[in-house]
Every structure is written in structure tokens, then in C-alpha cells.
Amino acid sequence: MVFDFLKGEFIDVISWLDDTRDTMVWRFDRRGQAIKMGAKLTVREGQAAVFIHEGQLADVFGPGLYMLETNNMPIMTTLQHWDHGFQSPFKSEVYFVNTTRFNDQKWGTKNPIMARDPEFGPVRLRAFGTYSMRVTDPGKFMTEIVGTDGEFTADEISFQVRNIIVQSASQVLAKSGIPVLDMAANLADLGKIIANAIAPQVGEYGLSIPEFYIENISLPEEVEKALDKRTSMGVVGDLNRYMQYNAAESLSQPGSAMGSAMGAGMGMGMGASMAQNMGPWGAQPGAAAAPPPPPPPPPAAKVWHLAVDGSTSGPFGEGDLAKAAAEGRLTRATMVWTAGQDGWKMAAETELARLLDQVPPPPPTP
């Protein structure tokens, strides 16, 4: 009877069947029972078993079936001094760690990222996406993150991982130098850069990020509306032709307000045209000849400005310049300018040369 009682106090089989999707660490519940030397330990694929003895990290077992003995528990043997041959039931905390991937983890920037765009200047960006994580070093994960938590879920570490991702994503996007309009074509490359940047930090927790995705990088709503208007203008192209097209479309819809207004306008125009074709008082064409149109106004006379000794004068008409040429105040070397002329020029290089040709030479000396 005593033997049966003691046998019931010892644990013979240690295993864990995970029926959840978010449990990363589960502590084997032994209810104060001691683990029997030679007990069977079953570690399934996607699991690791971690032994914590008196607060210290002891042995870590990967997938397989084990008989707990001194030859496969080297650290526990050292801690318990079993190397001297003393073997007995022992008490140790056993944690099963889920080493499979935890997929579809969300990340996103809570606050906008300030970046300098080569086309738009300073802009505010937001980004979000998904990632997967897995435990690659169960011992480090236990000592750095879990501690003595009896059941540790992915939500308890995902917040810290998101902070690391957002920090690295902000730095990568701000320094990328990629124009905002080209970022959609470079999401995969940007995702790889961010994943490589966060790998050392999450590695300190015994984790890795096998997959990392950027789903979207967006601008503020008001900036996106401005871009939409700019895109619409580019699609419209020639604004005059676009308005003509809209007017023609309105004419094909008689019930619309624009169609009615334009129809009335066209009716008024046709009536005015008919009235012009009819003679005075509504007579038929030919009853009275319409008066001929007035001649066009004469072209405006060209005026000139003169530059002499650093000062300008004018404007002068052609008559004033003929008089100035006769008096010697306008010579071939005088700088002149008129509207439409490219800068100041000598009078001899302009059409004023004909006035200078009409000036007689100085009288002969006696």
C-alpha cells in the first residue's frame, strides 16, 4: 500500500497537446508531484520542453521521446549533483514552448511618419501590414520574456514586437529617398529592409520574424484629395475641348437644365442670324442693300525712345525724329528703342536709317 501511494505521487509521463492557436508557452501542471527519474517526456513537432530548476534554466529538449535520465539531462545532473550516483525523484518546473509560426500578426504606425519627398517636399506617411513570428531560442525566450508565467500567449509579446517594427519602419521610410508615388512599387524591398533591421532586436528575445509584409503606405486624406484632383486634370487634358465635349453631351439630353439653357441660347442665336439676313423691317434679302462695313482703323504710328549720355527721352514720332536728324541730334550712332525691339540698338541698324539717309551732308568749306 505504501509503495502504491508513493508511486502515485510520482509523474511518469510529461507531454502537452495544444488545442489553442495563440499559446506560446504552457507550464506543465504537476500539482506538487515530483518527477520520477526515468519518466517519459514527449515533445511533439513544433514544440520544445524547457526545465527550470530552482529558478535556473536547466535542460532544453527538442521534438522527440525521452527517458529522463542523467545521461540526457546534463545541466540538471550538475545542479542536483547526480554525477555522484545519487538518483531520486526531483521537483522541477517544465514549460512547453510552441515553436511554430504565429501568423497574421498586425502592425501599423499610430502616428504619422515625417519624410522628405523629392517631389512634394515634407509629407506625413502612415503604414501598416502583417508579420509572422516564431520562437527560435526557447531558453532565451523563457528567461528574457516569459519568466514564471504559467500560460503565455502571443498577444503578450506582440505589442513589444510592434513597437520595434514601427520604430524601424519609421527610420527606413524617412531615409529611403523613394518618392511617395513610387513607394507602392517598392513595398517588397522596403519590407525586406525593415525585416533585416528588426532581426537583431527580436533575436535578443529568442524570436525571429520569418515573414514581414507592408500592405499599404498612405498619405493624409487632404493630400490624397489634392492628388486626385491633379490626376483628374491630367486625364482631362485640353480643358477647352473637355468643356466643348460636356456641352455637346448636354445638348443630347433635352431634359437637363444645361440642355434647355443651351437650346434657348442657340434659338436666340439662330433668330439673330435670320434677322441679319432679312432686310430692314423684316424685308426679304435684296429689298434694301446693307451698308458696307466701315474701313479698318489705320495702324498706330510707331514711336521711339532715344538714349543720350546715360539718359533716355521720348517717345518721339517719325516727324520729330526727322527734325532731330536734320539738326544733328539724331545720328547713326544714337541708341534707339521702340516697342517690340530686342533691346537698344544704333539708329543705323533700325528702320530709322532711311531718315538719316535723307539728311544732307555738311556744307562744303570755302
Q: CA 213 to CA 250: how far, in whole Å? A: 48
β-bridge mates for residue 51, sequence order: 94
Same domain, yes or no, for 183 and 94? no
Sign of CA dihedral 17, 20, 21, 24: negative
- Which residue's entry shows cell 532715344? 306
Question: Is 273 domain-assigned?
Answer: no
**Mean pLDDT in residue range 9-27:** 85
The domain spanning residue 172 has which CATH number? 3.30.479.30
Report the percentage of the chain scoring pLDDT > 70: 75
Same domain, yes or no, for 107 and 181? yes
Question: Is 88 domain-assigned?
Answer: yes
Report the percentage of the chain scoring pLDDT > 90: 29
Q: Which of 186, 234, 191 is nearest to 212 (CA)?
A: 191
Domains contained in the chain, number: 3
Same domain, yes or no, for 89 and 138? no
Same domain, yes or no, for 107 and 217? yes
**Mean pLDDT in residue range 272-300:** 59
Same domain, yes or no, for 19 and 67? yes
Same domain, yes or no, for 109 and 208? yes
- Which residue's entry shows cell 466643348? 244
Instruction: Determine whether 238 is exposed, middle or buried from the number of CB atoms within 10 Å of its CB (0-12, 13-18, 19+).
Output: exposed
**Mean pLDDT in residue range 32-43:** 84
Question: Is 330 domain-assigned?
Answer: yes
Question: Is 293 domain-assigned?
Answer: no
Q: Which of 153, 142, 152 is nearest to 206 (CA)?
A: 142
Q: Which of 202, 223, 244 is the last residue of a domain?
A: 223
Of residues 340 and 271, the one with the higher pLDDT is 340
Mean pLDDT lowest for which of 91-95, 285-289, 311-315? Answer: 285-289
Same domain, yes or no, for 114 and 214? yes
Q: Which of 204, 223, 242 is the last residue of a domain?
A: 223
**What pLDDT digit, counting tens, does each position of 152-175 carry?**
999 999 999 999 999 999 999 888
Question: Is 265 domain-assigned?
Answer: no
Q: CA 128 to CA 115: how far, in whole Å? A: 16
**What pLDDT digit, counting tens, does each position of 76-131 carry?**
878 777 765 556 678 888 999 999 999 999 999 988 888 888 877 888 899 999 99
Q: Which three-class secondary structure state does DSSP give residue 49?
A: strand
195-to-106, 156, 178, 226, 350 alpha-carbon distances in Å: 14, 21, 18, 33, 74
Residue at 38: amino acid letter: G
Q: CA 208 to CA 216: how far, in whole Å? A: 23
DSSP 8-state assignment for residue 90: B
Same domain, yes or no, for 162 and 148? yes
Same domain, yes or no, for 203 and 134? yes
Query: How much is the pTM?
Result: 0.57
Domain residue limits at 124: 102-223
Same domain, yes or no, for 173 and 77? no
Question: Is 286 domain-assigned?
Answer: no
DSSP 8-state assignment for residue 143: I
Question: Is 277 domain-assigned?
Answer: no
Question: Is 261 domain-assigned?
Answer: no
Same domain, yes or no, for 167 and 184? yes
Same domain, yes or no, for 113 and 210? yes
Q: Which of 74, 98, 122 is the last residue of a domain?
A: 98
**Mean pLDDT in residue range 180-205:** 91
DSSP 8-state assignment for residue 206: T
Long-range pairs for 166-169: beta carbons < 8 A, 24 or more residues apart: 166/107, 166/108, 166/109, 166/110, 168/194, 168/197, 168/198, 168/201, 169/107, 169/109, 169/113, 169/127, 169/194, 169/214
- Which pLDDT band, with edges at 50, 70 and 90, does 234 fall under? low
Q: Which three cell numbers stand for residue 204?
A: 535578443
pLDDT at residue 6 is higher than 60: no
